[in-house]
Structure 1
Amino acid sequence: MAIYQRDSFLAELSAQLGRAKPTQVTPPTLPYDVHHQVLQDASSDELTEQLKAYSQNALGARFELVTQADFSHRLMQVCCDYVGQSNQETVLSADPRLTALIEHSDFEKANLALYQFDETTPETENLRHVEAAKVGVVYCEQALAESGTMVLYSTSKQSRMLSLLPEVTVFVVAKSTLVARITQAMEPLSQQATDGQRIASCVNLISGPSSTADIELTKVVGVHGPTEACYIVLDDL
């Protein structure tokens, strides 16, 4: 965008201030680098505790820390808690990192109806199952400990509908991918763009169940999305 009469304006302004017209901009030196300093020395355990405290106290989300060996059985129990006697389906993302952890026999023994998202199936068929499901289970790229935020990449195996349409969203995230805040979450995306790599068509940052406080600052949950959220942190360290 052209800036008309910029040079003459700066020359006049500089003359009034009694100094030469600047020819370059010198960025200021800031004494702090807060967006990198917050929780920069926190260990994985400390980030986990921060994520747990914020997600439970501020967001009202359920929190579970499980081992890989116990994951499938614990996920089944979580889904059963939400489904209850409704006989509604639980839909699973087709992300291979998630499917590798699932033992379908655990769900069969609990008589839990399970639907596996399939990118080769017509979208209308996937949509029919997802929008009627009680629980949607997705795999996250990262979690932001400071704000209880889950970072989801949209892919052909993990559509956005999985985290937006069911009444409950279960977010699975590896403990090793917990970071302090959004600054660190954007770094790999920035690097991918710099390297010319293709990045996800959509990056969703989700903090707890759907809520709003637009009207008289009264918080209402479940206005435009899932009414409940569960964070399952997979202890892979």
Structure 2
Amino acid sequence: MKTGTVHNSDSFLKNISSRLGRDTIEPAVTLPEWSYSPQHRVLENATQEELIAVLEKQCQIIHTDFVRVKPENTLEETLNYVIESYGGGPIITWDDPRFEQSGLSSLFERDDTSIWDPSIGDNNIPLAEKANIGITFSDITLAESGTVVLFSGAKKGRAVSLLPTVYIALIPAESIVPRMTQATSIIHNKIQDGDALSSCINFITGPSNSADIEMKLVVGVHGPIKVTYIVY
């Protein structure tokens, strides 16, 4: 990608500053220090179990099925059960090492599973459109609103969570934070640390829905009709 060169920017900005009656240009914006930050107080001292309980309760409100992997079951067994409860494939998912790390390699051995492949470009889209189920991991999960946060990328297409009839989010318990406050802090810190984050970060709260027409809630307007969160 070619980058342009900005000429005479200092003199240009000084001219504008002078016309506005400002003699100097501040080098940077100084963040204010608030005496009270209520956004940090919500669920501030909640334990992980309490956050999971908050998430489960919120799922009832956002029309999302909540499944927690039981001690006697594996994540693979639980995922297969949910997949079959939705009628099976076709399935589309990310090319994500977390599947193998979590014992889900068998998902890629199914004849009805497609993996998002950056080498075929837009040809991934029809696969997502025809899929019955899309499966991804949640990078950050907001307990208060029941929101999963997805960092898209070359091997992690946005369409996987958008176009299939059903969406399944795999949620590591350690990814659950109280609310948006903590999620944005995590993202900010990643950027400050120089992590290469996608330009698109998706915040998904259950199935798509709208109540714009006569105040009647319609679920599945422009995305998955059914959503399940699996916490493990």
Please give the range of the TM-score, normalised by the shorter of the 2 chains.
Answer: 0.7 to 0.9
Identity rate of aligned residues, in percent? 33
Q: 1:34 aligns with which of 11, 32, 38?
A: 38
Q: Which residue of 2 aligns with 1:11?
A: none
SS in 2 for 1:83: coil
Q: Which residue of 1 aligns with 2:27?
A: none
Tell me the distance in 2 between the aligned counterparts of 1:174 and 1:228.
Answer: 20
Tell me the distance in 2 between the aligned counterparts of 1:59 and 1:226.
Answer: 13
Q: In the alignment, is the contact (CA less than 8 A) between 1:167 and 1:226 conserved in 2?
A: yes
Q: 1:189 aligns with which of 187, 190, 202?
A: 187
Tell me the distance in 2 between the aligned counterparts of 1:127 and 1:105.
Answer: 20
Tell me the distance in 2 between the aligned counterparts of 1:135 and 1:39.
Answer: 33
Give the letter aligned to residue 129 of structure 2. E
Give the letter aligned to residue 53 of structure 2. E
With normalisation by structure 1, the TM-score equals 0.78
1:66 aligns with 2:56: no
Q: How far apart are 1:117 and its partner, in Å?
A: 2.6
Q: Which residue of 2 aligns with 1:78?
A: 82
Q: How far apart are 1:157 and its partner, in Å?
A: 1.8
1:53 aligns with 2:51: no
RMSD: 2.6
Tell me the distance in 1 between the aligned counterparts of 2:138 and 2:169.
Answer: 7
Q: How far apart are 1:168 and its partner, in Å?
A: 0.6
Q: How far apart are 1:193 and its partner, in Å?
A: 2.2
**Residues 1:179 and 1:3: Cα distance change in structure 2 (over 3 Å):** farther
Q: How far apart are 1:41 and its partner, in Å?
A: 0.2
**Residues 1:2 and 1:90: Cα distance change in structure 2 (over 3 Å):** same
Q: Which residue of 2 aligns with 1:155?
A: 153
Q: In the alignment, is the contact (CA less than 8 A) between 1:148 and 1:207 conserved in 2?
A: yes
Q: Which residue of 2 aligns with 1:233?
A: 231
SS in 1 for 2:182: helix
Give the letter aligned to residue 102 of structure 1. L
Tell me the distance in 2 between the aligned counterparts of 1:29 and 1:183.
Answer: 15
Q: How far apart are 1:213 and its partner, in Å?
A: 1.4
Q: How far apart are 1:212 and its partner, in Å?
A: 1.0
Deviations 1:162-218 (A, max 9, x none): 000001110011001100001101112211222333222211000000001122322
**Residues 1:38 and 1:116: Cα distance change in structure 2 (over 3 Å):** same
1:145 aligns with 2:149: no
SS in 2 for 1:166: coil
Q: 2:104 aligns with which of 102, 120, 126?
A: 102
SS in 2 for 1:170: strand
Using the TM superposition, name which of 132-141 and 212-221 deviates more. 212-221
Tell me the distance in 2 between the aligned counterparts of 1:28 and 1:175.
Answer: 32
Give the letter aligned to residue 44 of structure 1. Q
**Residues 1:196 and 1:103: Cα distance change in structure 2 (over 3 Å):** closer
Give the letter aligned to residue 63 of structure 1. F
Q: Which residue of 2 aligns with 1:91?
A: 92
With normalisation by structure 2, the TM-score equals 0.80
Q: In the alignment, is the contact (CA less than 8 A) between 1:151 and 1:203 conserved in 2?
A: yes
Q: Which residue of 1 aligns with 2:116?
A: 117
Q: How far apart are 1:126 and its partner, in Å?
A: 2.2
Structure 2 regions of 5+ residues with no counterpart?
A: 1-15, 23-29
Structure 1 regions of 5+ residues with no counterpart?
A: 8-24
Q: How far apart are 1:102 and its partner, in Å?
A: 1.0
Q: Which residue of 2 aligns with 1:20?
A: none
